[in-house]
Structure 1
């Protein structure tokens, strides 16, 4: 399947989502992978991880970038050579990239009951407004929001539970606000989110 969804967030920011239905061989076509890219994908043991990796390169192509335009810093954060900001995510059969003139973060996760078991590892303040109603969906949005914050802030040692806060939200509204409190830094982010085919996706936009 080609591009699943494109979201024009604003004049400077675009999200592209891919539904991974193609074979590894099909996804490898027309992306001109670098040798380093091929080495990385060949080292992956899982077929879905390999196809997820290649689907991201297909998304880059959709955005007008060759595979060589993407590189990673020493912390594993992705960058584009033209200076634009990028964040990448994939989960099972979906992948996404967000590209912007400003720092951004994005995450996709499958909605699964097991998230209720690990909730106390990433939720603290948010327990004050959570209840059994729509719990899996809300926890998944919270996880996506916090993962997006982590990607945009990109500081090692930041804890989802201790350093991030997602304010109460209504699923039907598709947006919340989140904060990072890390050492002396306090930052506010707008976090829109969407749900599709049993998945949640959230992305963090800095509130200046």
Structure 2
């Protein structure tokens, strides 16, 4: 497993991208898994799902830099959390890469996606008509992936299932330039938050990440 990219957001928050090059057995050997984790792993079909689960946990262990057992669980909405460390985490994966974001003091969200033309067909499923108006024709596919990664990162940070990408997450107009940031709002129920979303193109992938800077501890 090779570290492809590491970025420190602030003294308490960072993310890393790893290229998955090992076999499942090699990844498994780097983890301290308990019976409930082994049972879940056995339930996954061999292939990408298995490799992605293992690789995000291996990368998490590298980023936490600890010899202790890391109890990484998911809550009732599917959001990963650490039961024996105070850190906030977010996990993502796409094809040959795994991504993990960790913070000591605030909720975070990250998404990585392989850029493919097929996103054009589903753009109106995750963007409102107002958002579609600011998409640049020349960089249309890349900018659509920025929008998807941004909304997915906010969704992961929020960690609840009652979120519509079209109705509840509003992206403000931005000019795509390979990497940058822009504002976005989350409005769902009694929650009204504004975020600064960051994005970077990495090889043939797009990365979107966000942190809850208004809720630092």
Same fold (TM over 0.5): yes
- Tell me the C-alpha RMSD between the 2 structures: 1.6
Contact residue 134 and residue 174 of structure 2 kept, 8 A: no
Q: How far 1:30 sits from its partner (Å)?
A: 2.1
Q: After TM superposition, give the deviation of residue 159 of structure 1 in Å.
A: 0.2
Give the drift of 1:149.
0.7
TM superposition score normalised by structure 1: 0.93
- Is 2:101 the partner of 1:95? no
- The alignment's TM-score, normalised by the length of structure 2, stands at 0.90
CA contact (8 A) 1:57 1:67 kept: no
1:5-44 counterparts in 2 under 5 A? 5-44=5-44
Distance (whole Å) between structure 2 residues aligned to residue 151 and residue 204 of structure 1: 9
Q: 1:3, CA displacement in angstroms? A: 1.8
> In the alignment, which of 183, 186, 201 is matched to residue 180 of structure 1?
186
Unaligned runs of 5+ in 1: none
Q: Is 1:73 equivalent to 2:78 in the alignment?
A: no
1:190 aligns with 2:184: no
Partner Cα distance (1:42, 1:149) in 2: 30
Q: Which runs of 5+ in 2 are unaligned?
A: none
Runs of 4+ in 1 over 6 A off after TM superposition: none
Q: CA deviation at 1:105?
A: 0.7
**Separation in 1, partners of 2:34, 2:70:** 6
- The Cα shift of 1:200 comes to 0.5
- 1: CA distance between counterparts of 2:107 and 2:195? 11
| SS of structure 2 residue aligned to 1:106 | strand
Count of aligned residue pairs for this structure pair: 208
Q: 1:34 touches 1:67 (CA, 8 Å); kept in 2?
A: no
Question: Is 2:117 aligned against 1:118?
Answer: no
**Residue number in structure 1 paired with 2:88:** 85
Q: Secondary structure in 2 aligned to 1:138? A: helix
